[in-house]
Structure 1
Amino acid sequence: MAALRDLQQQLESQASVVNKIQKDISKNHQVRRQYTIQHGENEMVQKELELLDEDANVYKLIGPVLVKQDLVEAKANVNKRIEYITAELRRLDGSLKSLEEQQNSKREAVMKLQQRIQAAQAGKASS
């Protein structure tokens, strides 16, 4: 009886860990989606900047004000942003892979606990 209760507590604990991992995976997907959108937007800006002549006027929106910016500086800023976003996407991919591996191992542990509980209940019912 006590062994069965312990198994059920372990099962609840493992199930809550699986739920937390699922929430983390969902959050990871959400953040990744935002970075992917930003990456696409910055690549469009980069392509637009490449089309400009060297003497073209470039403006950066800072709050409600447009501030004149050097073309070379604007290109460098966009390239740095793309590098940063790409690095973040790679980090998120690694994190997602790790979370999915944790989720799979915890699910296996939950299934084994469920089987042990069923076996214990079957043994109790037959005695």
Structure 2
Amino acid sequence: MATVQQLSDEFADIQKKLQDVIEARQRLDAQYSENKAVQKEFATLDADANIYKLIGPTLIKQDKDEATMNVNKRLDFIEKEIKRIEGQIKDFSETSEKKKAEIMQIQMEQQGQAQPT
């Protein structure tokens, strides 16, 4: 049978992992917002507008259709990543709650054993 300390360590590890995936979700949200803004900006441009892509220290001219397609692909990828991360958040949250309940159960059992009858 696991001790309260072992379960507490496992709980802390799960909480750390949960925090990491929440931070990843926040980064994805920021990337999504940026790319949505770029997508909206592209929609207002003329078909012959000049678009430049920063590659290293150099600006490279890019076709509007190609640039739009790249932003759309990036948005699709980010949306899929957000769904995947949300699944991880749900799993870690459920695991965390189970571990917490397990710790509480053991503590209650220990308190019950410690009290005289």
Structure index of larger Rg = 1
TM-score, normalised relative to structure 2: 0.95
Give the whole-Å Cα distance in 1 for the aligned partners of 2:105 and 2:78.
Answer: 40
Give the whole-Å Cα distance in 1 for the aligned partners of 2:50 and 2:101.
Answer: 60
Give the aligned partner of residue 61 of structure 2: 68
CA displacement at 1:111 relative to structure 2? 0.4
Give the whole-Å Cα distance in 1 for the aligned partners of 2:63 and 2:32.
Answer: 22
Alignment match of 2:4 (pick from 3, 7, 11): 11
Gaps of 5+ in 1: 1-5
CA displacement at 1:119 relative to structure 2? 1.4
Give the whole-Å Cα distance in 2 for the aligned partners of 1:66 and 1:49.
Answer: 17
Give the aligned partner of residue 97 of structure 1: 90
Compute the RMSD of aligned alpha carbons: 1.3
Quick one: percent identity of the two aligned structures? Answer: 37
TM-score, normalised relative to structure 1: 0.88
Local SS of the residue matching 2:47 = coil
4+ residue runs over 3 A deviation: none
Superposition pairs for residues 1-127 of structure 1, below 5 Å? 10-122=3-115, 126=116
CA displacement at 1:116 relative to structure 2? 1.1
Q: How many residues align?
A: 117
- The one-character-per-residue Cα deviations of 1:50-82 (angstroms, maximum 9, x if unpaired) are 111111111000111000011110000000000
